[in-house]
């Protein structure tokens, strides 16, 4: 199998797996907190409203999608965007309070649930796949350059 086919396969598998994990994360709760009897935040709700609470970690979502776009066109940018997505998703692990109500009441996060871990995994899969594509592409370019010198 040549490197071009390998890159296409890795890129395709990376995108399918990362997006599948991301979509599946939306069917689970993402974190737990306590406010007036409510104890968990559904991931879909967190995705739709996370930006309202100015939660910096929410911005991992658009970065993840941008990295999907760039994995074919510019794998190096995909590595940067997906790496930033992983870091922002990890940043959510810090002890902090989250907006619990529309009125702006804050509640401490008590735990991270399945939806969060799946979301983080989707970012990590995209990052690792992008790194792998970039490494193979760079090796391919080195081989071409060395053949041109001969």
Answer yes or no: is pLDDT of 98 > 90: no
Q: What is the pLDDT of residues 29-80, one digit of tens each?
A: 999 888 777 688 889 988 888 777 668 899 999 999 999 999 999 999 999 9
Q: What is the three-state SS of 10-47?
A: HHHHHHHHHHHHHHHHCCCEEEEEEECCEEEEEHHHHH
Q: What is the pLDDT of residues 16-33, one digit of tens each?
A: 999 999 999 999 999 988
Q: Average pLDDT over the chain, rounded to whole?
A: 89
């Amino acid at each position: 199998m040549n490197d071009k086919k390998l890159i296409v396969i890795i890129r395709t598998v990376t995108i399918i797996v990362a997006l599948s994990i991301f979509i599946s994360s939306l069917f689970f709760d993402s974190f737990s907190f306590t406010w007036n009897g409510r104890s968990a935040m559904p991931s879909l709700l967190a995705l739709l409203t996370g930006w309202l609470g100015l939660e910096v970690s929410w911005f991992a979502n658009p970065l993840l999608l941008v990295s999907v776009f760039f994995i074919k066109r510019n794998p190096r940018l995909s590595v940067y965007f997906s790496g930033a997505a992983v870091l922002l998703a990890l940043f959510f692990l810090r002890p902090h309070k989250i907006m619990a109500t529309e009125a702006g009441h804050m509640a401490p996060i008590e735990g991270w649930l399945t939806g969060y871990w799946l979301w983080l995994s989707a970012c990590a899969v995209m990052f690792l796949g992008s790194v792998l594509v970039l490494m193979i592409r760079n090796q391919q370019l080195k081989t071409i350059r060395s053949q041109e010198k001969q």
